[in-house]
């Protein structure tokens, strides 16, 4: 009996050794795998729902992890500037205005490539410090039942005020950067007085100054307004969900918000960050966005996804009022003379 007990005890010790060894090796393998995988860090002011699908697809295809650090615009600039001597991130993904500020603060380094050379010059920094990857124009989104009653659809900004019974929905300029960019762009191209006069005329027709970009489009789809002044990406999303809407591009041109990427100066993982910037301008990135119902127009006109957007009649206007203090003053003037003016 004692002999069998000895055999059982030795067997037990062997089993313990094997299990412990396997666990150790598995742990070491996991540590080794985590250590070996390459990664980049991205500072971004964009919503996570826009960035996460891109990060996930890039990691699957390139085996490079994308560590996303979401920050407000102000915090992003402060953090990147505080790390200027020893950068902790590799690139900035943000709107053009923020990228221009990062360039002015000497936070970026120039980068171009064969893939980026295809992109039109208007979407790239003249010194190659940042590259635009997609844009989102402001459009008219008309309810189709409303259009059937009209002799002709509205084609110009001034057409919106020709019939004062037309109900309009728009996102409040105070609530959204994309919406406020429309104010600055119209003032850039039509002048301050003409723009404010137009907005004063439009004000009584506005059913709601919405807090979110999607709200005016939803209201047009449900017939609560006749026309929404909204970003095209939201209009596309509701169209894909079979809402009775028609997108119209204003003849005189319209505002747009450009999103781009800039390589941080002395980035620790420059090669991988450059690869990510190139990838963002290609078809796979667009496919990842569209699978998640994100319909931004790519700046690269050579990829198949570009052809799925109707840009034939789309005229883009530039916002020349880039000074932040000037923008704040104009926004305040709009609030006082239009938004809160009860004497109209």
CA distances 8 to 1, 15, 96, Å, are 11, 11, 72
Q: Does residue 208 lie in a domain region?
A: yes
Backbone angles phi, psi at 70, to 5 degrees: -75, 135
pLDDT exceeds 90 at position 15: no
The per-residue pLDDT for range 239-281, each reduced to its tens digit, is 999 999 999 999 999 999 999 999 999 999 999 999 999 999 9
Burial of 195 (C-beta count, 10 Å sphere; 0-12/13-18/19+): buried
Render 195-221 in DSSP notation, one character per residue.
Answer: HHHHHHHHGGGEEEEESSSHHHHHHHH
Instruction: Note whether 168 and 221 are same-domain residues.
Output: yes
Q: Are 251 and 139 in contact (CB under 8 A)?
A: no
257's tokens: 């918000």
What local confidence, expressed as pLDDT, does residue 343 receive? Answer: 57
Instruction: Note whether 250 and 268 are same-domain residues.
Output: no
Place of tokens 């990829």: 303
End-to-end CA, the chain: 104
14's tokens: 């062997």
What local confidence, expressed as pLDDT, does residue 6 receive? Answer: 52
Instruction: Note whether 329 and 202 are same-domain residues.
Output: yes
Instruction: Note whether 232 and 261 are same-domain residues.
Output: no
Instruction: Note whether 250 and 267 are same-domain residues.
Output: no
Q: Does residue 295 lie in a domain region?
A: yes
What local confidence, expressed as pLDDT, does residue 340 receive? Answer: 87
What local confidence, expressed as pLDDT, does residue 341 receive? Answer: 76
Q: Does residue 344 lie in a domain region?
A: no
Q: Taking residues 109-116, what's their average pLDDT?
A: 96
Strand 131-143 relative to strand 297-298, pairing: antiparallel
Strand 131-143 relative to strand 256-263, pairing: antiparallel
Q: What is the pTM of this model?
A: 0.87
pLDDT exceeds 50 at position 1: no
The per-residue pLDDT for range 225-246, each reduced to its tens digit, is 999 999 999 999 999 999 999 9
Give dist(CA 273, CA 256) in Å, integer: 26
Q: Which domain holds residue 293?
A: 39-135+257-308
- Read off the DSSP letter of residue 261: E
Give dist(CA 272, CA 278) in Å, integer: 10
Instruction: Note whether 56 and 169 are same-domain residues.
Output: no
> pLDDT confidence of 344, banded at 50, 70, 90?
low
Query: Chain-wide mean pLDDT for the chain?
Result: 90
Instruction: Note whether 295 and 335 are same-domain residues.
Output: no
Nearest Cα neighbor of 138 from 233, 13, 221 is 233
CATH of the domain at 174: 3.40.190.10
The counts of H helices and E strands in the chain are: 12, 10
What local confidence, expressed as pLDDT, does residue 342 receive? Answer: 58
Number of separate domains in the chain: 2
pLDDT exceeds 70 at position 144: yes
What local confidence, expressed as pLDDT, does residue 120 receive? Answer: 97
Render 107-165 in DSSP notation, one character per residue.
Answer: -B-----TTGGGS-GGGB-TTSS-EEEEEEEEEEEEEHHHHHHSSS---SGGGGGTSTT
327's tokens: 């923008």
């Amino acid at each position: 009996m004692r002999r069998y007990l000895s055999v059982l005890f030795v067997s037990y010790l062997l089993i313990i050794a094997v299990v412990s060894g396997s666990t150790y090796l598995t742990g070491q393998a996991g540590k080794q795998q985590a250590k070996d995988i390459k990664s980049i860090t991205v500072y971004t002011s964009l919503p996570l729902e826009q960035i996460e699908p891109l990060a996930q697809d890039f990691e699957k295809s390139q085996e490079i992890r994308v560590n996303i650090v979401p920050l407000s615009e102000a915090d992003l600039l402060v953090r990147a500037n505080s790390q200027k001597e020893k950068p902790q991130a590799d690139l900035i993904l943000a709107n053009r205005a923020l990228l221009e500020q990062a360039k002015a603060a000497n936070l970026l380094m120039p980068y171009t490539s064969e893939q980026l050379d295809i992109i039109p010059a208007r979407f790239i920094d003249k010194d190659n410090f940042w590259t635009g990857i997609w844009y989102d124009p402001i459009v008219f989104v008309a309810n189709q039942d409303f259009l059937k009653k009209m002799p002709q659809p509205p084609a110009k900004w001034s057409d919106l005020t020709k019939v004062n019974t037309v109900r309009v929905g728009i996102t409040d300029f105070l609530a959204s950067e994309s919406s406020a960019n429309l104010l600055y762009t119209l003032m850039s191209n039509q002048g301050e007085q003409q723009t404010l006069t137009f907005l004063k005329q439009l004000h009584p027709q506005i059913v709601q100054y919405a807090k979110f970009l999607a709200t005016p489009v939803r209201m047009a789809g449900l017939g609560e307004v006749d026309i929404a002044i909204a970003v095209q990406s939201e209009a596309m999303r509701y169209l894909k969900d079979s809402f009775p809407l028609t997108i119209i591009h204003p003849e005189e041109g319209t505002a747009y918000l450009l999103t781009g990427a800039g390589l941080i100066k002395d980035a620790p993982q420059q090669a991988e960050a450059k690869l990510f910037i190139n990838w963002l301008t290609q078809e796979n990135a667009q496919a990842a966005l569209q699978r998640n119902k994100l319909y931004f127009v790519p700046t690269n006109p050579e990829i198949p996804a570009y052809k799925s957007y109707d840009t034939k009649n789309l005229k883009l206007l530039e916002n020349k009022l880039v000074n932040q203090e000037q923008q704040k003053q104009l926004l305040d003037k709009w609030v006082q003379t239009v938004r809160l003016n009860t004497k109209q």
